[in-house]
Structure 1
Amino acid sequence: MNKLKIKRDIFARALACIAALLFCANAFADKKEFVEIEWIELMPKEDLAVLLDPPEFLLNIQDGAADDNMEKLAEKSAIDEKAKRFNEVLKSEKIIPAFDGRDIRIPGFIVPLSNNEDRKVTEFFIVPYFGACLHLPPPPPNQIIFARWPEGITVESLSVPMLFEGKMYIETVANDMGTSAYGLTLDNVQPY
């Protein structure tokens, strides 16, 4: 009788160990692996080359000056081929299809689009640098990501960089603040 009880105890402990191992294995299997990406990876190389070689007149414009706007760039585009190509790339919605459905991690800044009743930001653009939608040149759509966070994010300062993790998808979202060529279904948002 004691041998039978000992065998049952050993069997019960073995089952408990197996159950614990399966639980741990499932917990690790459910954990997503986010790949950290750089902003420049989201745009075609030919667009990047144009942005890295801006028209000469842009280099001399002070932030907030009368010429610090898209209308002045459009005027120059009518008479200057380099300015024309630069202006076209600033509107580029060309994307990298390989990012569709990828779990990514990317640092960036929030441009609020809508808030909840607690004044927490629930819809926003993620942009590569602070003030991106306010100064010339603004980031092109393939450098802007649209995101939602239904419970809302308390944003103390728009100048604080954040780290975003989630599944990227391809979608164009346009409003008065800008146009995005990518979207991100968020899993995590935290200060960078």
Structure 2
Amino acid sequence: MISAVDVEADTPVTIEWVELMPEHLLEALDNLPMLEHDYSDDAVDPFTDEWNDPYADAWNDILTSTEVVTRYADTVIRLPGYIVPLDIDDKQRVRSFFLVPYFGACIHVPPPPPNQLIYVDEVPAEVNLRVEDMYTAYWLTGRLSLEINSHELGTAAYRVKMQTIELYQYQFDE
């Protein structure tokens, strides 16, 4: 789904995660072959220099790309996702987090590509997000900026100044 965006508007634009990945990277993903796993006794270990996979560089380029979609810069967006807590205060409230497209992202290796991670900081105390909330899907609304933020759990190519966060509920189009 591609949305028309009025960058001056403060009305949130609901987007999907795929809209944050540049088109040429999506096409590259579609054109890469399926991974094949060789578990035979004479298979080459993929963690050695002897392993030669012609597509490994292409996969790595996509999974580490910080290229972004600029049309949403400085736009108030609304996007569903899960939180990955990054900073927690002494009352166990989440102060900053990554918003990720699926449950378990950043906890399992590798993390999503940077253009599929959103960094959120300055979480107001009254929001009262807790570590255990990472198992819950949310709608995040806020102003999107193109800003790289790195953490030991991953690198985000986007940042959102949060306006609201609410429990996710699927909405059927009528």
Asked if Structure 1 and Structure 2 have the same fold, meaning a TM-score greater than 0.5 normalized by the shorter chain, the answer is: yes
Count of residues paired in the alignment: 152
Closer, same or farther in 2 for the Cα pair 1:138/1:50, shift >3 Å?
Answer: farther
Matched, 1:140 2:113: yes
Instruction: Report the 3-state secondary structure (helix = DSSP H, G, I; strand = E; otherwise coil) of the residue aligned with 1:85.
Output: helix
Map Cα deviations across residues 62-97 of structure 1 (whole Å, 9 max, x no partner). xxxxx9xxxxx7768x72222210111100000011
Closer, same or farther in 2 for the Cα pair 1:182/1:174, shift >3 Å?
Answer: same
Contact 1:54 1:83 in 2 (8 A): no
Superposition RMSD in Å:
2.7
Structure 1 residue 56 displacement after superposition: 3.1
Identity within the alignment, %:
36
- Distance in 2 (alpha carbons) for counterparts of 1:44 and 1:108: 19
Contact 1:112 1:124 in 2 (8 A): yes
Map Cα deviations across residues 129-158 of structure 1 (whole Å, 9 max, x no partner). 011113355310000000021314134342
Compare relative contact order (CA 8 Å, sep 6+) and give the higher one, 1 or 2: 2
Structure 1 residue 49 displacement after superposition: 2.4
In structure 2, the partner of 1:182 is 158
In structure 2, the partner of 1:17 is none
- Distance in 2 (alpha carbons) for counterparts of 1:36 and 1:145: 15
Contact 1:55 1:83 in 2 (8 A): no
The code of the aligned residue for 2:153 comes to M
Larger Rg: 1
- Distance in 2 (alpha carbons) for counterparts of 1:135 and 1:60: 22
Closer, same or farther in 2 for the Cα pair 1:179/1:75, shift >3 Å?
Answer: farther
- Greater helix fraction, Structure 1 or Structure 2: 1
In structure 1, the partner of 2:17 is 39
- Following superposition of structure 1 onto structure 2, how do residues 26-175 of structure 1 map, counting pairs within 5 Å? 32-57=10-35, 79-148=52-121, 149-151=123-125, 152-175=128-151
- Distance in 1 (alpha carbons) for counterparts of 2:47 and 2:16: 29
Map Cα deviations across residues 149-191 of structure 1 (whole Å, 9 max, x no partner). 1314134342211110000001100110000000000000111
Closer, same or farther in 2 for the Cα pair 1:54/1:110, shift >3 Å?
Answer: farther
Contact 1:95 1:142 in 2 (8 A): yes
Instruction: Report the 3-state secondary structure (helix = DSSP H, G, I; strand = E; otherwise coil) of the residue aligned with 2:155.
Output: strand
- Distance in 2 (alpha carbons) for counterparts of 1:75 and 1:178: 24
TM-score by length of 1: 0.70
Closer, same or farther in 2 for the Cα pair 1:145/1:74, shift >3 Å?
Answer: farther
- Distance in 1 (alpha carbons) for counterparts of 2:163 and 2:107: 28
Q: Which runs of 5+ in 2 are unaligned?
A: 1-8, 40-44, 169-174
Structure 1 residue 109 displacement after superposition: 0.5
The code of the aligned residue for 2:142 comes to G
Closer, same or farther in 2 for the Cα pair 1:60/1:116, shift >3 Å?
Answer: farther
